[in-house]
Chain A
Amino acid sequence: MKLYLKIWRQKDANSKGKMVDYTMEGIEGDMSFLEMLDVLNEDLITKGEEPIEFDHDCREGICGTCSLQINGRPHGPDTRITVCQLHMRRFNDGDTIVIEPFRARAFPVIKDLIIDRNAFERIQQAGGYVSVNTSGNTVDANAIPIEKEMADKSFNAATCIGCGACVAACKNASAMLFTSAKVSQFALLPQGRVEASDRVRSMVRQMDLEGFGNCTNTGACEVECPKGISLENIARMNREYLSATAKG
């Protein structure tokens, strides 16, 4: 395959970035998208140019590190996968591929395709946990039976990998899907119920402070989420938030 790439290059957070063109030949369908970039980088280094920096780690769709906007879509043309799970067989000979970092004011670019997602960290730190010490002196794990349906829903919310595709997909750069997934995971479990009101208030407050936009129910986040986190979580968070603030 021969491909024409347009890739965002930016020296550092303070420099202005621009799209740069690269042409690649001999790309095989079995290569992953990131392996294609590896090949390009090897080539650039050999030619004495600086390679393109991009974030990636597990390369199996679970760590949530990779964060590329490909042809305008977070994680590329397929749904329910991350960039590292995307293979070149998805593209055709002669295609032009535009590669950018996830775009959001709360996710500033660090270099080339790498973004700063510390805003997500701070939202989690604001309350994304159950306040229980790790002494091991808790009750037996089976002391509180949990309805399977609730446990499964909680699990589904907990599958969020914190990649930020939801923010990148949203026209308002809203972090509601991300935040609501964590709120829901705990709100649905008896262990998390105890602090549910405080948690939702703190996390939503931090989310707003970070400069993420609001949700206007377009649902792009749900479509682009590699783990298929449902919009239902946003509805649940809104309800939790409303009842928590009503309580005062």
Chain B
Amino acid sequence: MGKLDSKIPSGPLAEKWTNHKNEINLVNPANKRNIDIIVVGTGLAGGSAAASLAELGYNVKTFCYQDSPRRAHSIAAQGGVNASKNYQGDGDSDYRLFYDTIKGGDYRSREANVYRLAEVSSNIIDQCVAQGVPFAREYGGLLDNRSFGGVLVSRTFYAKGQTGQQLLLGAYGAMNRQINRGKIKSYTRHEMLDLVLVDGKARGIIARDLISGEIERHSAHAVVIASGGYGNLFFLSTYCMGANVMAAWRTHKKGAFFANPCFTQIHPTCIPVSGDHQSKLTLMSESLRNDGRIWVPKKLEDAKAIREGRLKPTELAEEDRDYYLERRYPAFGNLVPRDVASRAAKERCDAGYGVNKTGEAVYLDFAAAIERYGKEKAYTMGLKDANKDTIRKLGEEIVEAKYGNLFQMYEKIVDENPYKTPMMIYPAVHYTMGGLWVDYNLMTTIPGCYSAGEANFSDHGANRLGASALMQGLADGYFVLPYTIGDYLADDIRTGAIPTDSAEFDEAEKAVKDKLNRLIAIKGENTVDYYHKKLGKIMWNKCGMSRNEKDLKAAIKEISELREDFWNNVRVPGEATTKNQELEKAGRVADFLEIGELFAMDALDRNESCGGHFREEYQTPEGEALRDDENYRYVSAWEYKGDPKNSKLHKEELVFENVELKTRSYK
């Protein structure tokens, strides 16, 4: 099976991408018409890739399990998209965006990939504006920016609290234009169940029509996996309910290496869990940390009184509050990166300072911002000595204009008014940095199989900075894949259409059908959700925000046992040949039960703390993450060997020629 050659072009960092583009093979427009590409997933990465490839002239087929490409979970991204435009004149540049991202990822990503990301970031904004994406603007008519965690400049472009939806609608529009031209065939309510290899190359997929239950064969000259992350293996997360690892995992089982599975992002500002019935967690955008201050009570007895409902947070005097991020990290304050903010919240709650019934919540308080904005507004209105109520009212109006939909969302879920009392937040699983291993061209270890967006591992290292996921998804789809895929397809101009009646397709289809029938035939005692919830508990308790050797070893054993029980005792009602949501869920959970084990193995292998991977054994006396660059400066890339426990670890050494490896400090 393929060996790990990252194919990073030679030459100076800033010239690599341009030189590479100049040197790679092209496919002439007439030949592109004879080449088919399958794109699995239609979020920002898949949608943008499909549209761009179809514009170039390739015949594209897209697959998504949703009833419309527009509903992919990129749509839920709230805060924004980064770009090194330096419109604010605050010293931003491609290099700075590159540096912040490498450092933010705790030096576990590739220099060349990250630099390319920074380099094309400005193009993304130009492109989206040209497509009619309604970004926020200032009164002068120019684009507005805000700040996100882990950086000291304002480089985040946004569309109120729904940047993801607006960018996705842009990509969806570009797709629709190609669907209308007949260059994209969009298969909605379809799920990829397997990758088909012919002569070692990715040549198609087996998909299930989720309405009829029919199993279909689709062939192509190349396959792009852009199916998102696997965070739903925790059961509770900010992912949508349908998000799953099936396409990526089954590609892995067909030979693609899976990289850094243990690198997960736990987002610091989510609405805390309310009870056992809970099906998902809701994120409150990181942009709120621009104006919200995070705190817990200074005294244990106050925290207890708040938990028991005897004391209200608004009654607690300023000097009795511990703004712990501002205290621990004066330089970045409330805008430290996500991994740091999440761990700090856990530390305070574990120490007994949590503020809700379960003791797992901290405050995010807008009172100071409301007052500051109110005063400013009153002043500009000529009200030089406005009273408190007027200031508060004016301030609330400004905060509402900035974050209104988020405040409304919070109030609906928690039933408390966040303008009057501080929000309660707690960290939750939000994103996975790990994913299919890809080279600089975004090709996996299977020739002709590419991976883009969250589904690959490439750009965020061990921790992703806010507003960088949208950037990466669109960069991969609009500006990287359309070039690099041509380099590979240049050899396929004489191949002709790939037949679907080959032995390889027969075999793949049979395996898929057998698996579905087996799930139905078990007719056991427990529902699919029963297993999913159990897996989630193991993951959260033993592979979550902090990990240790003993727990990880226990997790590996427990997950493996749970998987065995699943295959003997799960109950999937209905049939495989009709619409069957339980069957869809069962297939996804079966894969989560496998990747969970690999996840824990990867976390156990990495005897260091970096980014979102915090091993309790490796920390500084102040409780900060302790990296081990000498021994763990590598990407772990796992090869499937018949069962997760037999997976073989390959290492891609990370080479740093342009940045110095330093202890990541936000103090």
Q: List the interface of chain A (C-beta within 8 A of B).
A: 12, 28, 30-32, 34-35, 38-39, 42, 45-46, 48-51, 53, 55-65, 80-81, 85, 87, 89, 110-111, 114, 116-118, 120-121, 124-136, 138-142, 144-148, 151-152, 154-155, 158-159, 161-162, 185-186, 189, 191-192
Contact = CB atoms under 8 A, between A and B. Distances in A.
B126 A140 contact: yes
A32 B76 contact: no
A136 B127 contact: yes
B528 to A, nearest CB: 8
A121 B129 CA distance: 23
A130 B137 contact: no
B75 interface: yes
B279 A148 contact: no
A128 B176 contact: yes
B211 interface: yes
14 contacts: A30-B275, A48-B573, A63-B71, A64-B70, A85-B409, A118-B188, A130-B131, A131-B177, A136-B126, A138-B130, A141-B85, A144-B129, A155-B134, A158-B166
A51 B137 contact: no
Given A45-B571, A62-B75, A65-B66, A114 B123 contact: no
B582 interface: yes
B134 A38 contact: no
Name the residue among B125, B127, B582 with the largest chain A CB count within 10 angstroms. Answer: B127
B72 to A, nearest CB: 8
Given A51-B582, A132-B130, A158-B166, 20 more contacts: A31-B275, A35-B279, A38-B279, A38-B529, A42-B527, A45-B527, A53-B579, A63-B240, A87-B413, A110-B579, A111-B579, A130-B132, A133-B55, A134-B51, A134-B127, A136-B127, A138-B129, A141-B125, A161-B165, A191-B130
B162 interface: yes
Nearest to B189: A110
B169 A158 contact: yes
Contacts of A189: 132, 134
B127 A57 contact: no
Nearest to A58: B240
A60 B578 contact: no
A135 B142 CA distance: 23
B320 interface: no
B127 A186 contact: no
Contacts of A55: 67
Contact of A62 (B76, B129, B132): B76
Contact of B174 (A111, A129, A136): A129
B625 to A, nearest CB: 30
Contacts of A151: 134-137, 141
Sort A-B residue pairs by CB-CB distance and give the 10 closest, nearest first: A145-B141, A129-B173, A136-B123, A155-B134, A138-B130, A141-B129, A57-B240, A58-B240, A154-B134, A63-B71
Contact of B211 (A110, A121, A129): A110
Contact of B573 (A51, A124, A138, A158): A51
A129 B169 CA distance: 9
Contact of B73 (A57, A134, A147): A57
Interface string B97-136: 0000000000000000000000010011111111110111
A155 B404 CA distance: 14
Contact of B67 (A28, A30, A62, A117): A117
B494 interface: no
B478 interface: yes
A144 to B, nearest CB: 8
Contacts of B51: 134
Contacts of A132: 127, 130-131
Contacts of A147: 141
Interface in B340-359: none
A59 B173 contact: no
A130 B66 contact: no
A28 B127 contact: no
Interface in B147-181: 159-160, 162, 164-166, 169, 172-174, 176-177, 179-180
Given A57-B71, A89-B415, A134-B52, A159 B162 contact: yes
Interface in B195-252: 211, 238, 240-242
Nearest to A81: B412
B581 A51 contact: yes
* Residue of A57, A139, A140, A192 with most chain B CB atoms under a 10 A cut-off: A57
A157 B478 CA distance: 25
Interface in B34-92: 48, 51-52, 55, 66-68, 70-71, 73, 75-76, 85, 87
Contacts of B571: 45-46
B658 interface: no
A18 to B, nearest CB: 18
Contact of A141 (B48, B143, B162, B166): B143
B332 to A, nearest CB: 28
A128 B171 CA distance: 11
A127 B415 CA distance: 41
A160 to B, nearest CB: 9
B293 to A, nearest CB: 24
A34 B278 CA distance: 10
Contacts of A59: 240-241, 279-280, 282
A121 B176 CA distance: 8
B66 A136 contact: no
A185 B240 CA distance: 27
Interface string B525-536: 001010000000
Given A50-B574, A59-B279, A133-B55, A121 B68 contact: yes
A65 B123 CA distance: 31
Given A35-B279, A38-B277, A85-B409, A129 B176 contact: yes
A65 B180 contact: no
Nearest to B282: A60
B143 A128 contact: no
